[in-house]
Amino acid sequence: MICLVERKRLRKKSPSIPSFADKYLKVSYNELFKAIDGFSSSNLLGTESFGSVYRGTLDPSGTIVAVKVSNLQQRGASKSFIAEYEALRGIRHQSLIKILTACSSIDSKGDDFKALLYEFMNNGSLQTWLHPKDAGLFNQLSLIQKLNIAVDVADALDYLHANCQPPVIHCDLKPSNILLDDNMNAVVGDFGLARILSETMSISQHDSHNLMRIKGPIRYIAPEYGAGIQVSTSGDVYSYGILLLEIFTGKRPVDDMFNNGLELREYVHMAFPDRVMKIIDHAINESTTNGINQRAEEECLVSVIRIGLACSERLARDKMSIRDVASEMHAVRNAYFKAGQS
């Protein structure tokens, strides 16, 4: 589970969430405080957009949780808390993080305390698998695992964009926000910047500043967001495209090699299609699956890179729709599986 926590001094009334306390008051502050050993640094798992994530265990069930503590002194943290709740409370999909329960209480210092509890994913984030902090740590994803993860994320976005009414825009898709369960299935999390789409919604100057500050201008944010353009599903499609290129090349969008105007997308585009295998993650090239010939593998990777490039076009009108993206990713994976069975 993940527990999204928000604490705030009682100097002014905190933003309200309709029926929040009445409907979801199932875990007390004291229980959560004990579960994570008083927010001990030894339990720190990592950081997200507006807080730090801790590992903990709830008594008496022994349920493992992760507690995301929001710093309300940070501008936009309170808005992020409510955005995440509003985005997730009514959606159900196997590739989206699920709210399990919540807490609205007061901590031991008299500060306002709010928490959302989510599933805990034992295999951590995609970030830790793609780019381990410890150079000696061997976290290698096979081509099939990478395909499965890419399909899971595409399905999650397709659900948010096409099956939710109104559509939900994630706005913060990146490897650290993609979690992996025991079976290496991917789940999209951290909806702190999510927006529920309306006809009049646009990225305000403040929201644009938050997006740029969190991810930087050359990472996963759609170029149009930096100009204050209206929030749209194409922004998530762009982020997905960059994510695909990162997953299959093994290179971060902010690697040192990307400077003087060279970005990950341009680097990949220059190699497409004839030299794709030269830029693919070396771990894939070194671990060809038994029964699948090299030609089938190359066709699969060229198709994935083509989709990544099509998603990350600079102009919104030139990008693929997420429905087409999900459909094509399923087709690519199915073709790869079929080649392995022949």
CB 154 within 8 A of CB 240: yes
C-alpha 70, offset from chain centre: 18
Helix boundaries (H) for 36-166: 77-88, 126-130, 143-158
Contact 241, 223 (CB under 8 A): no
Integer Cα distance of 294 and 145 in angstroms:
17
Handedness of CA 300, 301, 305, 306 (dihedral sign): negative
Write out the catalytic residue numbers. 172
Q: Hey, is 115 helix, strand or coil?
A: strand
| Pairing of β 3-8 and β 63-71 | parallel
- In sequence order, the 6+-apart residues with CB closer than 8 A to the CB of 257 are 251, 267
Cis peptide before 217, with omega less than 30 degrees from 0? no
Which residues are 187's β-sheet partners? 179
CB atoms within 10 A of CB 169: 25
Q: Nearest-CA neighbor of 233 among 259, 196, 193, 208? A: 196
> How far is the C-alpha of 224 from the C-alpha of 230, rounded, in Å?
8
Helical spans, DSSP H, in the chain: 20-24, 29-35, 77-88, 126-130, 143-158, 205-215, 233-249, 264-271, 276-279, 282-285, 294-311, 322-341
